[in-house]
Amino acid sequence: MKNLLKSIASDFSHWNTKMICRAGVIAALYAALTWAFGLGGGLAYGPFQIRPTEALTILPLFFPESIPALYIGCMLANIISIYNVYDIFLGSLATLFAAFLTYLCGKIFKNRVLQVVVGGIWPVILNAFIVPAVWILAGTPDVVYWYQFASMIITQSVWVYALGIPLYIAIYNLRKRGVRVFTSPVHAVQSTGVSAQADMGGAQNGGGLPKENGDNAR
């Protein structure tokens, strides 16, 4: 638990320009793509939500900065929602909490299948619980809570898993190849520091090679 808390503290205390820019891109993508589906017939805001941007909720498994980015992006996206302030604030909170819990799954589980399967549950479940309540609070007629809950489970699962899993695989492979846009500067700095210490130790002990430290995908 102590190591987990230290790792979380490190993720949220060593941000740089790259991470801030990446957070801005994620927020903008979520908002703009949701608007694209919402402006025409409000498909991104109805009982059967057509919101492919929910695939982005898998990103906290890689990028801690995506947690506030998804929250801000969702708030911006919900500005044009027919459910007004309830959706802007309550709907966005569902995304914020889900993003943080998905991020924790990336920290707790080392198996990548478990990371995706368990991490993806949170945006599905929390949105299914909270979004129908938002519709009821907004005074939407003919909303049957558990029916809408079931419909949200189905639609969210499609976006989070059917689109989120290919996104996860793509980013994982790009990070393994060292594509700088997708690498984490926090962990890169930490790995460099450890490697430097190992190099110094190896030189003092006869030039032995340091062991590789760290996970390429995180």
- As a whole number, mean pLDDT of residues 47-75 equals 93
Give residue-wise pLDDT tens across range 64-97: 999 999 999 999 999 988 888 999 999 999 999 9
Output the CA torsion sign for 24, 98, 59, 186.
positive
Whether 111 and 142 map to the same domain: the answer is yes
Q: State the total domains in the chain.
A: 2
Q: Give the Cα separation of 45 and 208 in Å (integer).
A: 60
The CA-atom distances, in angstroms, between 150 and each of 120, 136, 146, 173, 218 are 16, 15, 6, 34, 34
Whether 83 and 190 map to the same domain: the answer is no
H-assigned helices in the chain: 2-11, 17-41, 66-77, 84-86, 92-108, 112-137, 145-157, 164-176, 185-204
Q: Give the Cα separation of 57 and 63 in Å (integer).
A: 11
* 124 confidence band (pLDDT: 50, 70, 90): very high
Whether 145 and 215 map to the same domain: the answer is no
**pLDDT for the residue numbered 183:** 87
Query: By the 8 A CB rule, do 136 and 100 touch?
Result: no
Whether 72 and 15 map to the same domain: the answer is yes
Mean per-residue pLDDT over the chain, rounded: 84
Place of tokens 């079931």: 150
- As a whole number, mean pLDDT of residues 119-145 equals 92
Structural domain containing residue 153 = 2-183
Q: How many CA atoms lie within 13 A of 65 on its CB side?
A: 20
- The CATH number assigned to the domain holding 155 equals 1.10.1760
Q: Say whether pLDDT at 217 is over 60.
A: no
Q: Say whether pLDDT at 203 is over 60.
A: no
Whether 129 and 201 map to the same domain: the answer is no
**pLDDT for the residue numbered 218:** 41
Q: Give the Cα separation of 181 and 26 in Å (integer).
A: 12
Whether 17 and 107 map to the same domain: the answer is yes
**pLDDT for the residue numbered 186:** 52
**pLDDT for the residue numbered 142:** 82
Query: By the 8 A CB rule, do 69 and 30 touch?
Result: yes
Whether 139 and 211 map to the same domain: the answer is no
Whether 9 and 41 map to the same domain: the answer is yes
Whether 191 and 153 map to the same domain: the answer is no
Whether 171 and 207 map to the same domain: the answer is no
Whether 206 and 163 map to the same domain: the answer is no
Angle, vertex CA 35, rays to CA 147 and CA 167, nearest 5:
80
CB neighbour burial string for 9-23, b if at least 16 within 10 angstroms, e if fewer: eebeeeeeebbeebb
Whether 104 and 151 map to the same domain: the answer is yes
Q: Say whether pLDDT at 192 is over 60.
A: no
How many CB atoms are located within 10 Å of the residue 45 CB?
Answer: 23
Query: By the 8 A CB rule, do 107 and 8 touch?
Result: yes
* 40 confidence band (pLDDT: 50, 70, 90): low
